[in-house]
């Protein structure tokens, strides 16, 4: 039995459930150290909890001699990033350049999820309700701190799509009201607005823009070129899923608020990819997925709602009227595998150990490496800006003479490189390239080699 556990009496009859959990099996579980508590509960069930001894420590130790270096200098320290790579269980015989869809979780996160899953199966209705669910308030507070918002403005969800559709389906709008978005916003989100067009008579207006665009000012002007007196919502990506283009979100949201227009920001690709807070956005609503750049278990996201607006949005699934002003009304989805969500704190800790500035610098370094190498190659067309203010990890490229799907398939078949094709009908197509902190330079260089070989063959 861990030394920090001390026997206490069994809970007296009539003790409220949240307090009773402290007496579970005669030990004050909720007030013990969280890691020791989880290990203790697993041990009680006769299971063995394998906690990786050095995932976060591995990164911390590797940083010790280089903490004095700038993020840009650390970005080029391959020895450090190889230590980070060792914290994952990735397939070294496969080059994963598609972290933009789903990222693998580091071992420390996977093992935390497995421990919580073991707890769940030991006594689901007791351990989940009395032990694990109350801990989700800690998760909420940690995410809110990272995002720079009040915990009472952040709902825990399953992904970006759920987060944003809560808002899209829950906003009170009437026939003729206009929503402005872009042709490069995420298809699922455009589908949601089109459903409201059919159901409620709303009007969805989409603006297009070249890739890469001439400037951030150009993007601002394109959005407001579609705004009229009937515009009620501006729905934009913080970063597009197509080419990784970052939008001037703060400027757009500030002007929208001045005009009385609601702003919905799709942050599916930005949280934990590069540092920012909600103050840097100024939006009314923001949704993100945490299984991308935070490297959390698949099935995690969050929704930010500016506090005065919580009561104005209907939840996607019904909630009691008593929760009208409560951010938790957006979490009423029924039974959910809580072990997935419980591991979020471990993902945040791992992210913090690397450091947001160092991580962003590394991701930009990797993107610029392959883009600079391919820029002079005949037949290659870069679809993402070199400007660090307009891009981070994600980049996109097109190859003359080879369609995006064929290029994707060829890279996989010949070089075992995984990328994702992206298509915007009647505008462009290309492949999206998204390395991560576990990506090695020789993997990026292999991608360059493959592209150069294919470019020469298609001339």
Right CATH for 133-350 from 3.40.50.80, 3.20.20.70, 3.40.1180.10, 3.40.640.10 = 3.40.640.10
Is pLDDT above 80 for 324? yes
Q: What is the pLDDT of residue 62?
A: 82
Q: What is the pLDDT of residue 58?
A: 74
Neighbours of 285 (CB within 10 A): 25
Q: Report the chain's mean pLDDT, rounded to a whole number.
A: 89
From CA 24, how far away is CA 126, in angstroms rounded?
A: 9
pLDDT digits (tens, 9 = 90+) for 414-434: 999 999 999 999 999 999 999
Give 105's Cβ-side CA count (13 Å radius): 24
Q: What is the pLDDT of residue 31?
A: 33
**pLDDT-based confidence at residue 459 (cuts at 50, 70, 90):** confident
Q: What is the pLDDT of residue 33?
A: 41
pTM, to two decimals: 0.88
pLDDT digits (tens, 9 = 90+) for 41-84: 333 333 333 334 456 677 888 888 888 999 999 999 999 999 99
Tally of helices (H runs) and strands (E runs) in the chain:
16, 13
- CATH 3.90.1150.10 range(s) for the chain read 356-457
Mean pLDDT of all residues in 404-412: 98
Q: What is the pLDDT of residue 59?
A: 83
b/e sequence 351-365, b meaning 16+ C-beta within 10 Å: bebbbbebbbbbbbb
From CA 220, how far away is CA 295, in angstroms rounded?
A: 31
Q: What is the pLDDT of residue 42?
A: 37
Nearest 5°: phi and psi at 199? Answer: -80, -40
Q: What is the pLDDT of residue 36?
A: 43
Is pLDDT above 90 for 105? yes
Q: What is the pLDDT of residue 66?
A: 86
Q: What is the pLDDT of residue 61?
A: 82
Q: What is the pLDDT of residue 330?
A: 98
From CA 397, how far away is CA 247, in angstroms rounded?
A: 19
- CATH 3.40.640.10 range(s) for the chain read 133-350
Q: What is the pLDDT of residue 67?
A: 86
Mean pLDDT of all residues in 299-325: 97
pLDDT digits (tens, 9 = 90+) for 349-373: 999 999 999 999 999 999 999 999 9
List, as one string, the DSSP characters of 291-338.
SSSS-PPSS-EEEEE-GGGGGGB--SS---GGGTT-GGGGG--SS--H
From CA 204, how far away is CA 392, in angstroms rounded?
A: 29
Q: What is the pLDDT of residue 56?
A: 63
pLDDT digits (tens, 9 = 90+) for 256-304: 999 999 999 999 999 999 999 999 999 999 999 999 999 999 999 999 9
Which CATH class name applies to 356-457?
A: alpha beta
Mean pLDDT of all residues in 144-168: 98
């Amino acid at each position: 039995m861990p030394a920090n556990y001390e026997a206490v009496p069994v809970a007296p009859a009539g003790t409220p459930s949240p307090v009773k959990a402290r007496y579970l099996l005669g030990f004050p579980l909720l007030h013990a150290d969280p890691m020791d508590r989880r290990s203790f509960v697993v041990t009680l069930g006769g299971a063995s909890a394998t906690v990786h001894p050095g995932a976060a420590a591995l990164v911390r130790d590797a940083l010790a001699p280089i903490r004095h270096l700038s993020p840009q200098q650390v970005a080029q320290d391959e020895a450090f990033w190889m230590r980070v790579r060792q914290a994952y269980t990735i397939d070294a015989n496969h080059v994963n350049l598609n972290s933009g869809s789903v990222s693998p979780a580091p071992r420390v996160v996977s093992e935390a999820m497995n421990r919580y899953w073991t707890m769940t199966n030991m006594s689901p209705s007791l351990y989940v309700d009395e032990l694990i669910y109350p801990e989700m308030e800690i998760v909420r507070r940690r995410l809110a701190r990272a995002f720079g918002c009040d915990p009472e403005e952040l709902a825990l969800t399953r992904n970006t799509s759920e987060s944003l559709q809560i808002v899209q389906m829950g906003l009170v709008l009437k026939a003729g009201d206009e929503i402005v978005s872009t042709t490069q916003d995420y298809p699922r989100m455009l589908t949601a607005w089109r459903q409201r067009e059919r159901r409620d008579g709303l009007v969805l207006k989409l603006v297009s823009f070249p890739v890469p665009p001439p400037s951030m000012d150009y993007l601002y002007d394109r959005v407001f070129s579609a705004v009229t007196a009937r515009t009620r919502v501006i729905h934009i990506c913080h970063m597009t899923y197509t080419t990784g283009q970052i939008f001037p979100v703060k400027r757009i949201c500030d002007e929208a608020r001045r005009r009385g227009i609601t702003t919905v920001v799709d942050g599916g690709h930005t949280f934990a990819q590069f540092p920012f807070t909600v103050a840097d956005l100024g939006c009314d609503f923001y949704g993100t997925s945490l299984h991308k750049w935070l490297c959390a278990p698949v099935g995690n996201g969050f929704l930010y709602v500016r506090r005065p607006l919580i009561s104005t949005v209907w939840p996607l699934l019904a909630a009691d009227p008593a929760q009208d002003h409560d951010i938790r009304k957006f979490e009423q989805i029924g039974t959910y595998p809580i072990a997935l969500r419980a591991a979020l704190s471990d993902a945040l800790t791992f992210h913090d150990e690397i450091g947001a500035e160092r991580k962003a610098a590394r991701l930009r370094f990797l993107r610029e490496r392959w883009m600079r190498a391919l820029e002079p190659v005949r037949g290659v067309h870069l679809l993402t800006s070199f400007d660090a203010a307009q891009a981070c990890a994600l980049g996109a490229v097109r190859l003359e003479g080879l369609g995006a799907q064929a290029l994707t398939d060829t890279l996989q078949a010949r070089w075992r490189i995984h990328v994702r094709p992206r298509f915007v009908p009647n505008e462009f197509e290309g492949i999206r390239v998204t390395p991560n902190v576990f990506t090695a330079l020789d993997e990026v260089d292999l991608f360059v080699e493959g592209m150069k070989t294919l470019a020469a063959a298609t001339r």
